C-alpha cells in the first residue's frame, strides 16, 4: 500500500507545482462560442463568420458562431453578460447593444459599461446618406437648402425606431435645422425598397448596402455619415466636410467577454483577433465592405470608446424623446 501511495503523492505534488501562467496557457482547451446578437445573413454575421474561420489558427481551437437575435441585439448580449467568465462565450457586439440600447430600453438586462470585459474594437462601418434620384440635390448643402424651403416634404427611411439610421436622421435635422420626416420600417430591406421606389426621399444606411445601388445609378450619394472618408467611395466627402462639423454616425464592431474573465484570457483573445484581422483575406474583406479598422485595438481602447459612446447617444436620444418600451 505504501508503494502505491507514495507515487500518488508525488504526482499530486507535481500537479500542484504547475505555475499559474502555464495553467492559463491551456486556454482554450475546447471550442469558443462567438455570439452574434442578430439574425444570420447580415453584415455583422458575415464578418463574424469570416473572423471565426481565421481565429482557428491563433487559438488552435474552433470558434463556433451562434446567432441569438432579438430586441435590437439585447437578447444575445444579455446571454453573454450572464455566461461563465471563462473565455468560452464571447460577444460580437455593435453600437446598438454596446452603446445605444441602454438609453432606449428601460430594462436592457445588462450594462454595457460594467457587464463586460472588453477584448478588442474591430472597426466601424460608415453610414452613408443617400437620396432617391428624384430629389433635387447633389450634395449636403443643396439638400439642406431644399429641405428648408420645403419643410416636411422630404422623408427619411430607417430600419426601425431607435436604429442608427433613425438616430442619424435626428442628428441631421438638429445640426442642419431641417424638418425631414422619419418613416420607420421593420428592417433595412423594406426601407431600401421604398427608397428605391420613391415612396421616401432619403435614408442613412450602411455603405455596404447602398454601394451597388449607387454604382447602378439607382441612388445618389450625398455624403458619408462618418468622421473620415471611405476607401469604398474615396471621392465622396463626409457630411462633416460639407458643413455639418463633427457629424459622425457609424456602426462600430467590438468583441467583449463576460465581466471577470481572467486578464490573461482577455489578452490571448485580443492577440488572436489581431492576428485574424491582419490576415490579407480579412483585410480585403474589410476594404470591400467599407469597414474601417480601428487604430487602437487594445482592450483598454474599446473600454474608453464605449464610455464615450454611451453618453453621446444618451444625450441625443433624450433630446429627441426616443424610446422603444
Asked if 208 and 265 sit in the same domain, the reply is no
The pLDDT of residue 214 = 98
Domain that holds residue 162: 126-224
Q: Do residues 131 and 111 both lie within one domain?
A: no
Q: Are 118 and 145 in the same domain?
A: no
For residues 190 and 166, membership in a common domain is answered with yes
Q: Is residue 241 situated within a structural domain?
A: no
| DSSP class of 297 | -
Residue 214 burial (CB count, 10 A): 17
Tally the domains of the chain: 2
Q: Which three cell numbers stand for residue 146?
A: 431644399
Same domain, yes or no: 111 and 256: yes
* CATH number, position 171: 3.40.190.10
Within a domain: residue 234? Answer: no
**Domain check: are 189 and 208 in the same one?**
yes
Residue 237 domain-assigned (yes or no):
no
Cα 228 to Cα 185: distance, rounded to the nearest angstrom:
28
Strands 155-158 vs 32-36: parallel, antiparallel or unpaired: unpaired
Cell of 239: 457630411
134 and 213 share a domain? yes
Q: What is the pLDDT along the chain (325 residues), one digit of tens a residue?
A: 445 445 544 445 554 544 544 444 599 999 999 999 999 988 899 999 999 999 999 999 999 999 999 999 999 999 999 999 999 999 999 999 999 999 999 889 999 999 999 999 999 998 999 999 999 999 999 999 999 999 999 999 999 888 899 999 999 999 999 999 999 998 889 999 999 999 999 999 999 899 999 999 999 999 999 988 988 899 999 999 999 999 999 999 999 999 999 999 999 999 999 999 999 999 998 988 889 899 999 999 999 999 999 999 999 999 998 888 6
Residue 132 grid coordinates: 432617391
Looking at 224, 259, 286, which one is the last position of a domain?
224
Rounded Cα distance, 277 and 303, in Å: 19
- Between CA 152 and CA 291, with CA 206 as vertex, the angle to 5 degrees is 150
Residue the block writes with cell 445605444:
100
Please tell me the pTM assigned to this model: 0.86
**Cβ contact 205:164 at 8 Å:** no
Has residue 85 been placed in a domain? Answer: yes
| Domain assignment present for 92 | yes
DSSP 52-113: HHHHHHHHTS-EEEEE---GGGHHHHHHHHTS-SSSSEEEEEEHIIIIIGGGT-S--SS-TT
What is the pLDDT at residue 21? 47
Asked if the structure places residue 15 within a domain, the reply is no
Q: Are 220 and 133 part of one and the same domain?
A: yes
Same domain? 96 vs 86: yes
Residue 243: inside a domain, yes or no?
no
Single residue among 175, 206, 224 that ends a domain in this structure:
224
How many other C-beta atoms are found inside a 10 Å radius of the C-beta of residue 318? 11
Closest CA to 303 of 121, 138, 141, 164: 121
Sign of the Cα torsion 40, 43, 48, 53 reads: positive
Same domain, 219 and 257: no
Coil vs helix vs strand at 184 = strand
Domain shared by 118 and 130, yes or no: no
The last residue of one of the domains, among 208, 224, 240, is 224
Residue 240 within a domain: no
Q: Are residues 115 and 189 in the same domain?
A: no
CATH code assigned at 79: 3.40.190.150
Amino acid at each position: 500500500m505504501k508503494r502505491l501511495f507514495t507515487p500518488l503523492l508525488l504526482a499530486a505534488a507535481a500537479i500542484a507545482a504547475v505555475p499559474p501562467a502555464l495553467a492559463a496557457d491551456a486556454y482554450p482547451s475546447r471550442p469558443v462560442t462567438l455570439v452574434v446578437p442578430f439574425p444570420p445573413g447580415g453584415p455583422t454575421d458575415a464578418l463574424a463568420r469570416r473572423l471565426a474561420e481565421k481565429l482557428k489558427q491563433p487559438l488552435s481551437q474552433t470558434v463556433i458562431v451562434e446567432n441569438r437575435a432579438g430586441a435590437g441585439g439585447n437578447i444575445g448580449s444579455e446571454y453573454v453578460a450572464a455566461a461563465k467568465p471563462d473565455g468560452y462565450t464571447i460577444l460580437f457586439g455593435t453600437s446598438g447593444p454596446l452603446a445605444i440600447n441602454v438609453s432606449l430600453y428601460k430594462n436592457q438586462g445588462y450594462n454595457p459599461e460594467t457587464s463586460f470585459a472588453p477584448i478588442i474594437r474591430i472597426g466601424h462601418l460608415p453610414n452613408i446618406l443617400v437620396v432617391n434620384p428624384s430629389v433635387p440635390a447633389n450634395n449636403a448643402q443643396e439638400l439642406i437648402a431644399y429641405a428648408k424651403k420645403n419643410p416636411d416634404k422630404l422623408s427619411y427611411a430607417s430600419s426601425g425606431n431607435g436604429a442608427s439610421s433613425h438616430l442619424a436622421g435626428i442628428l441631421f435635422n438638429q445640426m442642419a435645422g431641417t424638418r425631414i420626416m422619419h418613416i420607420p420600417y421593420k428592417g433595412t430591406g423594406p426601407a431600401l425598397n421604398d427608397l428605391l421606389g420613391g415612396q421616401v426621399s432619403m435614408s442613412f444606411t450602411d455603405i455596404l448596402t447602398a454601394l451597388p445601388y449607387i454604382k447602378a445609378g439607382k441612388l445618389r450619394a450625398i455624403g458619408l455619415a462618418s468622421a473620415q472618408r471611405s476607401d469604398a467611395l474615396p471621392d465622396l466627402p463626409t457630411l462633416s466636410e460639407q458643413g455639418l462639423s463633427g457629424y459622425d454616425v457609424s456602426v462600430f464592431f467590438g468583441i467583449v467577454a463576460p465581466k471577470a474573465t481572467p486578464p490573461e484570457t482577455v489578452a490571448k483573445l485580443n492577440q488572436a483577433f489581431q492576428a485574424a484581422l491582419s490576415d490579407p483575406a480579412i483585410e480585403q474583406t474589410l476594404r470591400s465592405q467599407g469597414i474601417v479598422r480601428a487604430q487602437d485595438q487594445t482592450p483598454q481602447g474599446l473600454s474608453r470608446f464605449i464610455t464615450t459612446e454611451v453618453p453621446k447617444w444618451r444625450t441625443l436620444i433624450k433630446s429627441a424623446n426616443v424610446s422603444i418600451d
